[in-house]
Each structure stands twice: as C-alpha cells, then as structure tokens.
Amino acid sequence: MNNLTEKIKALIVDDEKGMCLGTQRILGDFSFPIEELDTSVNFDVEYVCSGADFYKVIENKKYDLVVMDYKLPDANGLELLEYLNGKGADTGVLMITAYATFETAVKATKLGAYDFIAKPFSPDELKYSVMNLVKSILLSRNVRKFQEEKKRIRFEFVSVLSHELKSPLNALEGYIDMISRYHGKMDDSELKTYLERAKTRTVSMRKLVMDLLDLTRFESGARNRECVDIAFNELVSESLNNIREEINSRGIAVEAVFDAEYNIVADRTEIEMIVNNLISNSVKYNKQGGRVMIKTENKDGDLLCAVSDTGIGMTEQEQTRLFKDFSRIKNKDTENILGSGLGLSTINKIVSLYDGEITVNSKYGVGSTFTVRLKNIIKEVPNGN
C-alpha cells in the first residue's frame, strides 16, 4: 500500500545526553504511514547537546524536524527558533519544556514552533506529537509543490497561448503595413488575395478564442455536467449532417458502420465535442474525393468508436505531439487548413473524464484512424447477443 518512504531528518537538541539518546532510540524505531500522501515515514536522528553545536550543525544540513529542549545552558529555545526562521528553513520544531509559561508558548508558536511537550513525557506522547508535526509539515510541503506545479502549467499555457495569438497579429500587421506602403505597386487581384488571407487569419483567430473558451470551460469544471441517455448512432449522424456541405464539396464518401443501436449514458455536450472534432478532422485533413469511415463497437460495456480517413496522415514523429494544447502539424498539406490545435487536446481531456482513452494510428500520405474508448457507458444493446 505504501509506495514511498520518506526519511525525516531529525535533530535533537538537549543538554542531557541521556535524553538525547533516549529520544534518538524512540524516533529511530518509529515509523508510521501518511495515507493522504501514500507514503510512510521513518527517521534519521542526530543530536547535539548545546546551542553552540546546534548553530554548527544547521550550517551544513537541513533538518525536517528539530526536537529541542527549551532551556539549554548556553541558549534558550526561542533564540534557536528565531535563528532557524531567519535561515528560512522548512523545519518543524517540537519544543520540550519543563515549565512552559503561557507567554513563552505564545512567543514560540509565533516563531513557528508547532508543538510543545512537557517534561517528563512518555515515549507514546513523544511519538504522538512528532507524528502530528511531521504530518503537517509533509502535507503543507505537498500542497506547495502542487501549487507550484499548477503555476508552472498555467505559465506554460499562457506562454503558448500568447504565441498563438501573436502569430495571426503579426501576419495581419505585415499585410496592413505592406499594403499601406506598397499598394501603388500592386494590382487589384493581388490586393484582393492579400486581403482575403488577412481575413482568413482574423477568422481563425476568432475560432481560437472560441475554442479556448470551450476548453477552459471543461477544465475549470464551470460547466454543469449532466449525464443523460444518448442515442449514439443518431448523434454521429447529426454530426455528419452538420458538415454535410464540406463533405460534399470535397467529394468525400462517408460510411458509418454500427453493428447495433448504441444507447449510452453520458454528458451530451462532451460526447458531441468528441465526435464533432474527430469527424471534422477526418474531413479537414482528407484528400479531395477521399473516404471517411466511422465504426462503433461494444467492447464489454465500453464504447469503442473509430474514425478512419484516407487523408494526408502523419509521420510517427508528428503523432507524438498531437494531443498537446495548440499543437498543429505544419506542412504543405496543412498550410491552408484552419484550426486552433485544440480539438484533440480537448477530446483527450474529455475522454479522461470517462476513464477512457484515445489512440491514433496513422501513416503519412495514406490516412489515419483515431479510436476513442469510453469506459462502461453503454446502457443497453437491444437484441445484442
């Protein structure tokens, strides 16, 4: 059950050597689990017997835990605590005191001592206090790590996004600049071509903004998910009808194979996003007169939906970055195809909500198959056997 062990570096500060040795032995044998972190804790214990030695050892080593006697011959606990804080150490302090007055307790707590324990104490009392202290240190470290990771991901997202927004602006500014300086040297048809390109970039920038809204709505959980009965085959047909015009104008033949009626229980918008995006890709990245094939299957209650095309395909290297936000493959075949590079990454996120997966199988110049597997969402298979 416990995958990890965390070795806590502990330091005991007490002028009675017997106390040090006793505490060292107790903690040395002590180990406990922290379920929230799926980890178990044990200790690596050192001790020093004076304030002077304390200052020496903490110069060279970071400790997770300090168990210190409040009253030392050459220093008092508050001073040491203050010094530890000054170094910005991420250390939990357990203060041992024979006569904790209310004031020292308040003062020490303000300085970051997490707990007190009065002399004399039993091994169990010590263990209990240490356990609580270590738990709170490790949990707050974990929260911090998580928040930093979240910040990093967000920074990266915003950086890529700003790049994606700057590119069309650069293009537009280039056209505007060029036309205002050189229009006298261009004929009308040229001008028209450039203006059309400029228009295309604004359209795709708008689409990017809209897709981005969709994506963040899913990610933030701002949308209320609602699981309803969906006739999957019908949903696929509707999705095809939505882009019928494009299918026809590009002479693409579509074939949908359902070996049964599939009724699923899921959020309609989410399933539509998946199907629309896959079908739209299979048409967009197809060749003139190509084929699209949609195949649905029941695999032990999981819905398997594969969308294949005879389009431009992708190299293996290109396939590795498909599911990242904003990832688009740029080459001669795709340069005139509009897209935000968010379709597949959005699908990927939705699919994970269903504990499912999306896989790709593609060959450059030949075609691609995207297969989505949604766990356990098929409700019934009428006349299935």
Amino acid at 151: K
Site string for Mg ion, 334-373 (x = CB under 5 A): ---------x------------------------------
Size of the site for Mg ion (CB under 5 A): 2
DSSP letter assigned to residue 286: S
The DSSP secondary-structure symbol of 255 reads E
Cis status of the peptide bond prior to 168, with omega within 30 of 0: no
- β-bridge partners, 254: 292
Tell me which stretch binds other proteins (CB under 8 A): 2-10, 101-109, 130-138, 170-178. Answer: 170-178
Q: Which window, 178-186, 230-238, 277-285, 292-300, contacts other proteins (CB under 8 A)? A: 178-186
Q: Which of 181, 188, 288, 385 binds other proteins (CB under 8 A)?
A: 181
Q: How far is the CB of 280 from Mg ion (least distance, A)?
A: 6
**Token pair listed for 144:** 């911090």
With binding defined as CB under 8 A, does residue 187 bind other proteins?
no
**Are residues 18 and 73 in contact, defined by beta-carbon separation less than 8 angstroms?**
no
* Token pair 């263990």 in the structure block, residue: 127
Q: Taking CB within 5 to 8 Å according to partner kind, which of other proteins, Mg ion, ligand ATP, none is near residue 335?
A: other proteins
Q: How far is CA 322 from the centre of its chain?
A: 17
Q: Which of residues 46-75 bind Mg ion (CB under 5 A)?
A: none
CA 173 vs. chain centroid, Å, equals 35
Q: Show contacts with other proteins in window 133-162 (CB under 8 A).
A: 159-160, 162
166 touches 300 (CB < 8 A): no
281 binding Mg ion? (CB under 5 A): yes
One-letter identity of residue 21:
L
Of 329, 339, 343, the closest CA to residue 214 belongs to 343
SS3 278: helix
Comparing CA positions, the residue from 271, 185, 284 lying closest to residue 226 is 271
Least distance to other proteins from the beta carbon of 208, Å?
A: 15
Q: Minimum distance between the CB of residue 319 and other proteins, rounded to whole angstroms? A: 14
d(CA 257, CA 364): 25
Dist. CA 111–CA 190, nearest whole Å: 73
* 275 or 344: CB nearest ligand ATP: 344
- Hunting for tokens 């959020």 — which residue is that? 267
Bridge partners, 42 (sequence order)? 7, 31
Among 330, 382, 383, 385, binds other proteins (CB under 8 A): 330
Given the rule CB under 5 A, which of 43-51, 124-132, 213-221, 280-288 is the region that contacts Mg ion?
280-288
β 113-118/302-309 pair status:
unpaired
Choosing from 55, 128, 157, 175, the residue that interacts with other proteins (CB under 8 A) is: 175
Binding mask 189-208 for other proteins (x = CB under 8 A): -x---x--xx--x-------
Residues that bind ligand ATP (CB under 6 A): 211, 277, 281-282, 285, 309, 311-314, 322, 327-329, 334, 339-345, 368
Chain length of the chain: 385
Per rule CB under 8 A, is residue 315 in the interface with other proteins?
no
Binding of residue 173 to other proteins (CB under 8 A): yes
Q: Which residues bind Mg ion (CB under 5 A)?
A: 281, 343
Q: Which residues bind other proteins (CB under 8 A)?
A: 159-160, 162-163, 166-167, 169-171, 173-175, 177-178, 181-182, 185-186, 190, 194, 197-198, 201, 330-332, 335-336
